[in-house]
């Protein structure tokens, strides 16, 4: 038996902003992206090449490279909890770094 509830938001992204910082320049790569994903549903993010789809996904998974990229605004709610609240930008990726050891880089 499934415990899925209809119309329950698993993931909600509100006004996400991810910027790149390079040589004194600020490049807003993701600027105000908002979407949600309900239980039992599929979400597709489509757009032109270079429009920020990959950086949006990496930001939501907290896998962006810091530096040069940094989430500077918005909320990422997972089951209603803001997973960015109270964390410094370098802590957004800290828990992911331990898994990079097996990456064939």
Q: What are phi and psi of 63, to 5 degrees?
A: -115, 15
Task: Say if 33 falls within a structural domain.
Answer: yes
Whole-prediction pTM: 0.75
- Phi, psi (deg, nearest 5) at residue 45: -110, 115
Is 15 among the domain residues?
yes
48 DSSP assignment = S
- What CATH number is associated with residue 87? 3.40.50.300
Per the structure, the count of domains in the chain is 1
CA distance 79 to 38: 10
**pLDDT tens digits for 22-67?**
998 999 999 999 999 999 899 999 999 999 999 999 999 989 888 8
On whether residue 4 sits in a domain, the answer given is no
**Per the domain annotation, does 55 fall within a domain?**
yes
Domain that holds residue 34: 9-99
* 69 three-state secondary structure: strand
- Per-residue confidence at 87, pLDDT binned at 50, 70, 90? low
């Amino acid at each position: 038996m499934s415990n899925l509830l209809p119309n329950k938001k698993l993931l909600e992204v509100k006004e996400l902003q991810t910027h790149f910082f390079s040589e004194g320049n600020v490049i807003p790569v993701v600027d105000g992206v908002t979407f949600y994903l309900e239980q039992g549903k599929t979400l597709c993010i489509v757009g032109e090449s270079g429009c920020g789809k990959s950086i949006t996904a990496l930001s939501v998974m907290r896998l962006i490279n810091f530096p040069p990229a940094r989430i500077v605004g918005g909320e990422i709610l997972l089951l209603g909890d803001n997973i960015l609240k109270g964390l410094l930008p370098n802590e957004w990726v800290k828990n992911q770094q331990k898994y990079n050891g097996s990456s064939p880089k």
